[in-house]
Structure 1
Amino acid sequence: MLGDSLSEGVGDRVDGAWRGWAPLLADGLAAEGRRTAFLNLAVSGALSGDVANRQAPRALAFRPHLASVVVGVNDTLRRTFDIELLARRLDGVLADLHEAGAVLLTACLPDAGRMLGLPPPLARPLARRQRSVNAVVHALSARYGAVHLHLADDTWTEDRALWSADRLHPGERGHRAVAEGFHRLLADRGLADGAAPAREPLQPPPTRAEALLRLATAGTGWLLRRSHDLLPQLLLLAGAELRHWADGTGPAPLDARAEDALAAALAATMGR
């Protein structure tokens, strides 16, 4: 498993450690009585560059039959966001794993601004970036025949029961839903012989106090880690949003600029 905190399992704590959807899915791949070798390389905060430069070489050495590559949200939270660079990195990782014989698992993801409920001037730039990332993921998933799970749909983003207190990561119910979704798609291809992961949580739900503590600690930690990098850039982007609304042009020029950058990114990768 390659990626960031989503694949690391953040939000689904079992016996003092993160579990998440990946081991739940792994348990349902092989028929009863058989074991599945499993390697999770995902690390919280990972960027596409981390996946390409650090995780992918280890994954290739493992020679997996299945490989999930789910990354991109952290890239959208950086002032250095570059959709063409992300597309090239992701294309390289998927191409290498595909050539090595791995069946690929990918997912499109909701944008952080929507999940955190940020005000529109702050949320729109992040949404624009995540739409571009998802478009790249969709195109590359089709190119390499990946098993693709749509996690940006309203059914996922609007069901609060799927998400942990920090609103950035799934809770146990959400991770189980991700595992079940991938299992269903793999079973349709004849690639999952075991039982589907249970959808209902087995761990007791966090108390209100525990949820508030996680929200305070995780939310504050996230803000501190991002404030020196993302916040100044995000404020500049929000200022651009407000200026366009003030002069009557609205988001159209910014949307067009993002579409042009996306088109260039897709041309650079899909045209090779």
Structure 2
Amino acid sequence: MRPVRFVALGDSLTEGVGDPTGDGWRGWAALLAAGLADEPVDFTNLAVSGAQTRDVLERQTPAGLGLRPGIVSVVIGVNDTLRCTFDIHAVAARLDKVYAAFTGQGAVLLTACLPDPGAMLGLPGALARPLARRQRAVNAVVHALSDRYGAVHLHASEGAWLTDRAMWSADRLHPGERGHRQLAVRFHALLAGTGLATGPAPSPEPEFPAPTRSASLWWRATAGTGWVARRCTDLLPQLLRLAADEMGHRARGTSARLDLRTSAAVSAALAALSVGEQPDAA
């Protein structure tokens, strides 16, 4: 009998950042893999820190298709929102191609919508709101395409776990061990509910203590500043313009226009895809 083959695609979240083990990272995907079946699971993690949807399409997907997985996770999009080149039309087109490629091989597709980075990093409102709007746009696209391709979709962009300090690592952007375990537990429950996971559910309880508040503050004051600078250098000038636009609309009481503009962009991005052609049945 062929063993279950699980391939994970994505960025630092799926790579496992925030859940250290030995000399590397473990993360939710590895924790989930252990519970997919009673026998050993063939697990490959192709996720790379800093990856965007372009990287998943052009680099990770060809490698993943070559492994012919029975289950594939594609959790991506936050890094796209942190670039001045952000384009929801491009994000939608790339995800559509990735989802179609794997489901076309008969793989079970796992997806998730994610919280916006501005809120998680505690940025001021005028800076956080444009990023939140971008992340909502990405989530809306992921929701629509997950439905189209019959994905097992995890709603990870909301819920009490987002405000539970124990779930997060010192950087406040990546889950800590407990948070990674929560993602694995929730994905396992979805898969088990449809008979796709037959192994034991991952334990929600961590092996190691959560970072202290002082450790979190120290990280944000030292390494965290550098991390944000590296991720957002090309975005900062644009983000400042977006923040100024945000404040102008709020002063005039026309902030709703920004939300309507984003909704229209998402609708146009999805309409531009070949929505009339349903994917081939596995």
Specify the TM-score bucket, using the shorter chain as the normaliser: over 0.9
2:235 to 215, 230, 236: 230
- Give the 3-state SS of the residue equivalent to 2:45 in structure 1: coil
**2:36, 2:188 within 8 Å by CA — same for their partners in 1?**
yes
Determine whether 1:268 maps to 2:272: yes
Matches within 5 A, 1:1-272: 1-31=8-38, 34-206=39-211, 210-246=215-251, 248-269=252-273, 270-271=275-276
Q: For 1:50-94, what per-residue CA distance to the aligned partner results, in whole angstroms no more than 9, with x for missing partners?
A: 000000000000000000000000001111110011000000000
- Give the 3-state SS of the residue equivalent to 1:240 in structure 2: helix
Q: Which amino acid aligns with 2:29?
A: A
Aligned length: 269
**2:83, 2:232 within 8 Å by CA — same for their partners in 1?**
no
Q: Which amino acid aligns with 1:149?
A: L
Q: Distance in 2 between matches of 1:111 and 1:262?
A: 16
Q: Distance in 2 between matches of 1:108 and 1:182?
A: 12
- Give the 3-state SS of the residue equivalent to 1:107 in structure 2: strand
| CA positional deviation for 1:208 | 5.5
- Give the 3-state SS of the residue equivalent to 1:39 in structure 2: strand
Q: Which amino acid aligns with 2:264?
A: D
**1:113, 1:127 within 8 Å by CA — same for their partners in 2?**
yes
**2:169, 2:210 within 8 Å by CA — same for their partners in 1?**
no
| CA positional deviation for 1:216 | 3.8
Q: Which amino acid aligns with 1:166?
A: D
Q: Which amino acid aligns with 2:11?
A: D
Identical pairs, percent: 63
**1:241, 1:250 within 8 Å by CA — same for their partners in 2?**
no
**TM-score, structure 1 length as denominator?**
0.95
Q: Distance in 2 between matches of 1:254 and 1:207?
A: 38
Q: For 1:156-205, what per-residue CA distance to the aligned partner results, in whole angstroms no more than 9, with x for missing partners?
A: 31122111111100000000000011111110111111100000001244
**TM-score, structure 2 length as denominator?**
0.91
Q: Distance in 2 between matches of 1:129 and 1:222?
A: 20
**2:152, 2:191 within 8 Å by CA — same for their partners in 1?**
yes
| CA positional deviation for 1:244 | 1.5
Q: Distance in 2 between matches of 1:57 and 1:160?
A: 37
Root-mean-square deviation over aligned CA pairs? 1.4
